[in-house]
Structure 1
Amino acid sequence: MDTSQKKSTEYGVSDLMPGQVNHVTNNFKQNSSRRIFGLLVGIDDYQSSHIPPLSGAVADTEAFLAFFRDTLDVPTKNLQVLHNASATRRAIIDALNRLKDDERIHPNDAIFIFFAGHGSELPPPPGWEAGGPGSMIQVIIPHDYCETPGREVQAIPDRTIGALLEGIAETKGNNITVVLDCCHSASGTRGQVIGSPSGSGIRSGAVNPSIHNAQLDRQIWDARSSSPPLHSGLHSHVLLAACSAGELARERNARGIFTKALLEVFESDGTPFNKLKYSDIMLNMSDLPGQHPQCEGVHQNRYLFSSEDLPQGPMLFTPLYQRQPASTGSDKFGFSLSAGSAHGLAVGDELTVYPDRDALSEQPLGTLVIDTIDNFTATMKLPPDATELRNFTSDAIAVKSKSGRREFFKLAVPPYSDAPVLHSLLQSSDGQFENITTTSDQGHLTLTRDNTTGDMSLRITDSRVTKYGVTPHFKNTTTLQLDELPTILKGAQDYYWELERTNTAHPLRDEVDVQFYKLQNVTSQFADVYHELSPLEPNLCEAGEINLTTGCGVHSTYGIKITNNSTFDVYPKVCYLNPDDLTIATAYEPPLGLHGPAVPLHANGGTLTIGYGSGGRRPFVPPTLQSGQDLHVGFLKIFLFTQSLDAAPRQQRSPIVRHMVAQRLRPTWDSVVIPVVQHCDMRVQHAWTQGVGFPLAGR
């Protein structure tokens, strides 16, 4: 959605696509000296004969060392370097702890952690929610890994590294970048012969699960208030990984393919370092055959090595000029889009077209209007008053600039003397409010006016909220002036479009099971995503509704478990929509990946947990009931996409063989909306204030 900073902040309108890239003069270097610290680990030689040698891991760390030293003027004393025999398990853990304790590192200074070497995977500890049947946890393999009985040295699990990163973030802030050039799987077999320096090697080793027990590194978890796994609890850092789960991170010509490509992006003359976002790295990186690098993290919208969270940029689309699909009834060439209703687009939407992603502040090439739409594709045409799209090339980028006509938001306006003024205001805003239907009857919101003072206010009259017996006033809008309405109504329009939009065919809704649990502190044999948090029965999501019993001022945490029983892999996005203030908070969104991120929710029984287990996102915390508030209603909305939104393939039918049919399943999407109803119970509130437990709390 085309949202501004103010709207994103006030109304929580959340984009589903990565933001734009801005290229400006590269002045990062002059500000970087002594403000970047890091750890570079490269392992070519392994002590165990079970782990084959590599040829480019040390060279990769040397390349990063040179980049920081020569390009960014970072003093070498700011960077710890561990090569081969110095990169033992103990040394790697100690080096991470030194970053936490280093007094030279100030809060929010940039911290860069790089590992090149072998990675692997292990079965999760018993009871660990790791993503469904057959799911694994990831590890990195230190130089001194050993399976010999009595001399065992284990690999380092992602949850151990996650706990260490949490410790760093607690003292130094979350301006932490982690780069892993290794495999996420154990596809490399024992005794595998790695190619010569001029050939190709695989950064994957097989480790013995029997030497990795559930108590491994318990002292590290116990030192943390939380210990999310490296690949999931990504509030403490942003992760750039060489490939997705099940893929192979490769070497070529004595260098890691991923590291070499990543440094090319960092050093590109056309990509100023101080204006490159983490989320943009995937867009700027060259194709890596057989590897789909991943970008994960809550803060992936930041500029590199910055602690400042940026507003979401506009959704960017790539228009194509190609032969139209047969389904359109036309065999002519025209404009199409690798985006559709899944991205929030609809027939009639207008998109402004620019020469490329670097020219969004320049004169546009023109406008296109969506003519036909499918789940992940659309065709476009010129508006009636245009005859051509000048200077169009394959580098062009389109930004949604206006919504087509659709009725989804009703504003009730009872008759009063200023009503004509309001109607005139809505009609004179360059068409931005044409999707607001005014009525004197039932509406989602109702505008009221005090006949004595003339003050206006907004009440929520959406039947999905009021049916529970509550008719709240809009938060912080007990009195309104007429000139304040446009900003609020624009946010309301976006809010209700996000709440209402769905795939009316509902191909996935009945194939997904959603469970919702109160989380409790328990003593377990392994560290959970949030230290010692575990779901407490019963499942609070029943008959398509979540009912919670709580008290005013009581803060409770909850976990969500989604099970995918369909035959499709799914990329979910989970949001909480609060009608009181029109906020949309994102509880989970998939990682970004070059031409295809890792699948978060696998087909045929795959699971994703939020707030506990390997899903790793922070627990869900609903709005706290305020004094005198007996009830609150919000909505948990789960989008289900069978294709990643940021990696829609650019397919086209053969212009030669017209009857050819694509051999892949047609991508689809769906959504589920679940009311979250909080009920106030004074017994819960009393127990909370007394600091004692209560059996109904959180139910």
Structure 2
Amino acid sequence: MVEPLAIAETNELGLSFDSAILASNSTDIDNNNSFYALVIGINDYPNLDRLSGAIADADRVVKFLSTNLQVPLDHIINLRNEEASRAAIIQGFFKLRDDPRIVKGDPIFIYYAGHGGSRREKRNSGAANEVQVIFPYDYGGQELESDRLINCIPDQTIATLLNSLSEEKGNNITVVFDSCHSASGSRDGSGVFPSMQPRCAPLLHDIPCDLDDDILGAAPARQRKSPACGSREKAWEQDQQGRFTTALLEVLQSCPVEKLTYHNLIISLPDLINQSPHCYGANKSRVIFNSRISSPQNAYIPVTFEREALTLGAGTSSGITSGSIWELHLSVAYDSQPFGRFTAKGPRVSTTTLTPFTEEDKRSIELILAQKSRLQLRLYARQLNAGTGNELKVWFSPQAARMLFHDSDRETSQISMPSKHEVGYIHHSREGADLEVEIHNIDSAPESLEVAFSICDSIAQAHGVSKIEQRKPAQRRNVESVLFAAARWNWHLRRINEQHIKEGRHSVIEMGMYKVGQSIRANRRELFQDPESVPVTYDEAGTAGLVEFVARSRDLYGIKLSNKRSVPLYVSMFFFDATDFSIVHLFGHSASNGQGDPELPADGELFIGDAVDGGSPLKFTIPLTKKVEVGHLKIFWSTDPLELDHVPQPSAFDSRSSRGVTKVSKHRVMKDWGTVCLTLVQHSPSER
């Protein structure tokens, strides 16, 4: 199993000061007397361009919290203009951390409206990385009793403050920044009016390498954040208010927060010219302000009406298949009622055409189109199933087949796929099956019989771990809960770009594994100056590799991706656990209502787990009772943004997530996507 280490997640994974939402792990907010907030708004910077709407935005946020969510005013720390000094902002985090009224797990909301900025600086590791910052009111002023200038607040400082807060009060922390760090301009000049002003500023002074050393002694944590724009965009204010905050509050006031996830909140924001708000973090499926509740349904994907056709904002790179069935909704509330079913036709790399499933569905969409402007139409799709041809092939022993099915249900050609499951399964002969199902204790009393599952995987079989230790009662309902999870797991693990196979193309991404450091003690680690390469054996195409190593709990790992193309790529990484069919999202952090930012630069590299821009290192462990475990690290890449928030799933055997996981080019480019996968054979230290 794999677990991201809880350390600083700066920039993309942790902090990026564009208009953004950092999603939280929250608790129940039925009693909002347990809700606490820090709200910051700065207009009148003495040494930076003045803003006109940041204070108004902060005040509107407070009004929403106190009126709509009934948060007591004495639970909200308010900092405006000169009150929002560097010392006061940092102290605001400490006040939340030390507030005895806040019980671990209570929802905490942090909001900042003001200038942001960025610069490439050398971190403590010596590597140059983009440092993203927010500016306090007194930026550039003189420190009392010192000749030092008052500096900005860098991303690492914010990450560390959040970690300190989360260690004391839990991970139910939501952070919103209505600012940006791009001081170089928007992607284009369209849609920018004289009355619009960006919330970004240049760094006027160097950032000392020892800045906030007194704070950085703590290990940063992982929250979720939403910036207001991509890294090449600006967060804009117009008519004395931030466009991102205005849009955010409109959505929050129009949809019950207890039915809204972070992902669905972001995609429901209206289009903001030259601004693409996005959400960072691994828990985007969580209900906002509530870490104990995830949406029981798949994530929504936006649908637009283009060229007289309904267009789904996802394609083959996101796993969309021709013939898949989708429900369309008018609201992003996770329990909203669909108005019709639609079929995917001819998916492209990043978009897919949807057509009505029945004549009644056709009439439903025609009625909606007649009532709404097609330019303003906002629809949201949720997948019901992935169509046929992707089913899990299951062999049932004769005893298991008799126990679980009627005679009429045992036809090998029959597809079992109730509408609520993405991927189904078919009865198959033992040869060529993906999974085997047998009765474990055939001589037991009928009420005590259990079913055992075995993965038909050559690597797992070679290491003697093809049989899954966990079992289910020999009842069809219980067994099928595992089969549908396994079907979905197998589909996302095995799917590739078939066109690359036909053309004999080599992988455009090189994927290497490195040991990057060691854990010293709880929440402390030592990173190596020169990461140690872990041997990987690849296939001829370079898209599938095998790694065998000893999984010691103290060892920390990272994944280095090298882009061999001259265009930037979006990437997302998942861990597929072969012990329980869970899928854990490890990297690929942004849900956006616009283009978002590619993670892997053109002809460049990305080091996932470098404890800086690539997020937390990975730690692999296996139970003391096991000698070997097999899992898979899979990278999905695309020239267009990926819609993969629907991929993660918990263990098929219990309600917990996988064990131990806590964790553009100006010219036209050819759209493409692909995958790279490492199979990890993890040996117990006691065996080596």
Both structures adopt the same fold (TM-score exceeding 0.5):
yes
Q: CA deviation at 1:171?
A: 0.8
**Structure 2 residue aligned with 1:227:** 220
String of CA shifts for 1:355-414, please: whole Å, max 9, x gaps.
66569664743x43334333233345556x858622213555443333432156333345
Q: Secondary structure at the match of 1:279?
A: helix
Is 2:324 the counterpart of 1:349?
A: yes
Give the aligned partner of residue 240 of structure 2: 254
**1:559 aligns to what?**
558
- Give the secondary-structure state (helix, strand or coil) at the position aligned to 1:307: strand
The 5 A counterparts of 1:125-140 are 125-126=122-123, 128=125, 135-140=129-134
Point out the more displaced range, 116-125 or 280-289: 280-289
Q: Which residue of 1 aligns with 2:686?
A: 682
Where does residue 87 of structure 2 map in the other structure?
90
The one-letter code matched in structure 1 to 2:298 is P
Q: Which runs of 5+ in 2 are unaligned?
A: 1-27, 187-191, 370-377, 539-544, 646-665
Q: Distance in 1 between matches of 2:493 and 2:590?
A: 23
TM-superposed CA distance for 1:76, in Å, is: 2.4
User: Which residue pairs with 2:20 in the alignment?
Assistant: none
- Give the structure 2 partner of residue 232 of structure 1: none
> Paired residue for 1:443?
433
Q: 2:283 aligned with 1:290, yes or no? A: no
Which is further off, 213-222 or 537-546? 537-546
Aligned to 1:374: 348
- The answer for the alignment partner of 1:192 in structure 2 is none
Q: CA deviation at 1:303?
A: 2.5
Q: 2:10 aligns to what? A: none
Q: For 2:562 and 2:274, locate their aligned partners in 1 and report how far apart those are by CA, in whole Å.
A: 28
Question: Contact 1:518 / 1:558 at 8 angstroms: preserved in 2?
Answer: yes
TM (normalized to structure 2)? 0.77
Report matched runs for 1:292-691 at 5 Å: 292-311=276-295, 313-317=297-301, 337-353=312-328, 362=337, 364-365=339-340, 367-381=341-355, 389-392=362-365, 393-394=368-369, 397-406=380-389, 409-413=392-396, 418=401, 422=405, 424-425=408-409, 431-432=417-418, 435-449=425-439, 453=443, 456-466=451-461, 468-477=462-471, 480=474, 484-506=478-500, 510-521=507-518, 532-534=526-528, 537-544=531-538, 545-550=545-550, 554=553, 556-610=555-609, 612-616=611-615, 618-627=616-625, 629-646=626-643, 664-682=668-686
Residues 145-186 of structure 1 show CA distances to partners (whole Å, capped at 9, x for unaligned) of 227793322111000011001111111111212111212123
Could you tell me whether the CA contact under 8 Å between 2:281 and 2:589 is conserved in 1? no
Deviations 1:624-676 (A, max 9, x none): 1442x33222111111122123499xxxxxxxxxxxxx984343211111111
Q: How far, CA to CA, are the matches of 1:378 and 1:555 in structure 2? A: 45
Maintained 8 Å contact 1:625/1:632: no
Aligned-partner Cα distance in 1 for 2:595–2:251: 19
Contact 1:625 1:631 (C-alpha < 8 Å) held by counterparts = no
- The answer to whether residue 170 in structure 2 is matched with residue 166 in structure 1 is no
- CA spacing shift, 1:349–1:302, aligned 2, 3 Å: closer
CA–CA separation in structure 1 for the residues paired with 2:126 and 2:232: 19
| Alpha-carbon distance in structure 1 between the residues aligned to 2:594 and 2:30 | 34
Over 3 Å counting, the alpha-carbon distance change for 1:216 and 1:306 in structure 2 is: same
Q: Is residue 558–residue 607 contact of structure 2 (8 Å, CA) maintained in 1?
A: no
Instruction: From the superposition, tell whether residues 259 and 369 of structure 1 become closer, same or farther in structure 2 (CA, over 3 Å).
Output: closer
User: Given that residues 443 and 462 in structure 1 are in contact (C-alpha distance below 8 angstroms), is that contact kept between their aligned partners in structure 2?
Assistant: no
User: Displacement, 1:138?
Assistant: 0.1
User: Following the alignment from structure 1 to structure 2, what is the Cα–Cα distance between the partners of residues 418 and 263?
Assistant: 54
8 Å contact 1:518–1:535 — kept in the other structure? no
**What is the CA-CA distance between 1:288 and the residue it aligns to?**
1.7
The structure-2 alpha-carbon separation of the partners of 1:450 and 1:179, relative to structure 1 and needing over 3 Å to count, comes to closer
Cα distance in 1 for partners of 2:572, 2:359 equals 37
Q: 1:69 to 1:84 in 2, by over 3 A?
A: same
Within a 5 Å distance, the mapping from 1:262-277 to structure 2 comes to 262-266=248-252, 268=253, 270-277=254-261
SS at match of 2:286: coil
Q: Where does the alignment leave 5 or more consecutive residues of structure 1 unmatched?
A: 1-27, 190-194, 229-234, 324-332, 524-528, 649-661, 685-699
Q: For residue 326 of structure 1, what is the aligned residue in structure 2?
A: none
Higher relative strand content: 2
Indicate how the Cα distance of structure 1 residues 84 and 577 shifts in structure 2: closer, same or farther if over 3 A, else same: same
Give the aligned CA root-mean-square deviation in angstroms.
3.7
* Candidates 140, 148, 157, aligned match of 1:146: 140
**Alpha-carbon distance change, 398 to 162 in structure 1, aligned in 2, over 3 angstroms:** closer
Deviation at 1:464, TM superposition (A): 3.9
Does the CA contact (< 8 Å) of 2:513 and 2:557 recur in 1? yes
Conserved in 1, the CA contact under 8 Å of 2:465 and 2:628?
A: no
> Does residue 204 in structure 1 map to residue 200 in structure 2?
yes
Cα shift at 1:502: 1.0
2:352 is matched by which residue type in structure 1?
A
Q: Could you tell me whether the CA contact under 8 Å between 1:516 and 1:559 is conserved in 2?
A: yes
1:243-266, Cα deviation, whole Å (9 max, x unpaired) = 121211222222222222222223
User: Which secondary structure does the structure 1 equivalent of 2:109 belong to?
Assistant: strand
Contact 1:517/1:540, CA 8 A, preserved across alignment: yes
Same amino acid, percent of matched pairs: 26
Whole-angstrom CA distance in 1 between matches of 2:612 and 2:617 = 11
Q: 1:477 offset after TM fit, Å?
A: 2.3
Show CA shifts across 1:328-381 (max 9, x none).
xxxxx666544332222223323345566569664743x433343332333455
Figure out how many residues of one structure are paired with residues of the other and give that number.
600
Q: Which has the larger radius of gyration?
A: 1
Tell me the distance in 1 between the aligned counterparts of 2:118 and 2:157.
Answer: 14
- The amino acid across from 1:373 in the alignment is P
Asked if structure 2 preserves the Cα contact closer than 8 Å seen for 1:108 and 1:174, the reply is yes
How far apart are residue 418 of structure 1 and its match?
A: 4.9
- Please report the TM-score for the alignment, with normalisation by the length of structure 1: 0.76
CA contact (8 A) 1:601 1:607 kept: yes
3-state SS of paired residue (1:105): coil
Alignment equivalent of 1:113, drawn from 110, 115, 119: 110
Q: Which amino acid aligns with 1:412?
A: W
- Structure 1 Cα separation of the partners of residues 509 and 42 of structure 2: 43
- Cα 1:265–1:550, aligned 2, differ >3 Å: closer, same or farther? same
**What one-letter code is carried by the residue in structure 1 that aligns with 2:593?**
L
- 1:540 partner letter: V
By how many angstroms is 1:319 displaced?
5.8
1:592-626 Cα offsets, whole Å, 9 max, x none, are 1122223222222042423622222x432335144
SS for the counterpart of 1:162 is: helix
What is the distance in 1 between the residues matched to 2:587 and 2:322? 28
Q: What residue in structure 1 maps to residue 8 of structure 2? A: none
Q: Note if contact 1:559-1:610 (Cα within 8 Å) is conserved in structure 2.
A: yes
Preserved contact between residue 350 and residue 641 of structure 2 (Cα < 8 Å): no
| Letter of the 1:348 counterpart | G
Flag the 1:79–1:318 CA change in 2: closer, same or farther, 3 A. closer
